[in-house]
Amino acid sequence: DAASASRGLYHLRDCLRVTKLREHWDETNSKVMQRKTQLDAMLSDSQRYERERLEVEAWLTRMETKFDNMHTVGYTADVLEAQLREQKSFHVDLHQYKHKIELFNQLTQKLIAVYQQDDTTRVKKMTEHVNQRYSNLNSNIISRGKLLHSAMNSLHNFDRSLDKFLAWLSEAESSIECFENEAEPAATSTNNSGWRERPSHQLKHGLEPRARKNRKAIEPADDRSLIKSAVGGLGIKSRPVFIYV
């Protein structure tokens, strides 16, 4: 009858609604589980990223401290050689760690690619900061190497100039001694009234042009004490010479 048919239709409609509701539930539940799996993977990757970041930043901090503790560029060959060895060792360590930095960047790119629907701005900024610190360290140690090589070259140039200057001083002393040896016999055989005593340093008028040339070659000015010590070691002093007038 009509009533029975109507009840059957209502029942069928309810069954369809329940079926659709169940399908919707199953679909929603599946998406939720997929998202949960994705979030679990994201958590695992984020934890791995954080471990890697902390390890890299700890290494960078140690290297930055080591670089900051390096002494200023030295002035002697032994100090400069030790500083060059230190600089080369530091640069080697930096270069060897580059592979670790590259792996860290690859991990960052993976996170950005896999989770592009999520906000990865913080990850990008932290990785950029790590790369900048590494780049600064590399630039600083290269610059220090150039300074050390420049200082070593300057020291070698100074040594060569100093050798020439000391050779000139030795030659000047020999010339003065020869002049004195020639003048003294004549002084003893001549009446003292025809002689007067003059210091031998008056010979400087003939030696000054070469002296200026040699002094100009001696650099830097901070090494005057070294030159003074070397000149003193030659025993050059002003001695009286008798010159006939």
237 φ, ψ (degrees, to nearest 5): -150, 165
Show the tokens assigned to 190.
Answer: 């001549």
pLDDT band at 155 (very low <50, low <70, confident <90, very high): confident
Per-residue model confidence as pLDDT tens digits over 160-170: 666 666 676 77
Mean pLDDT of 123-135: 96
Mean pLDDT of 87-114: 95
Burial label for 83, CB within 10 Å (0-12, 13-18, 19+), is buried
Neighbours of 90 (CB within 10 A): 19
Per-residue model confidence as pLDDT tens digits over 50-61: 999 999 999 999
In 3D space, the residue among 225, 231, 81, 230 whose CA is nearest the CA of residue 156 turns out to be 81
Q: What is the pTM of this model?
A: 0.58
Q: Which of residues 168 and 34 earns the better pLDDT score?
A: 34
Domains of the chain and any CATH numbers:
52-180 (1.20.58.60)
In 3D space, the residue among 147, 130, 126 whose CA is nearest the CA of residue 64 turns out to be 130
In 3D space, the residue among 192, 197, 205, 189 whose CA is nearest the CA of residue 240 turns out to be 197
Distance, in Å, from the CA atom of 70 to the CA atom of 67, rounded to the nearest integer, reads 5
What is the pLDDT at residue 13?
74
Mean pLDDT of 54-76: 95
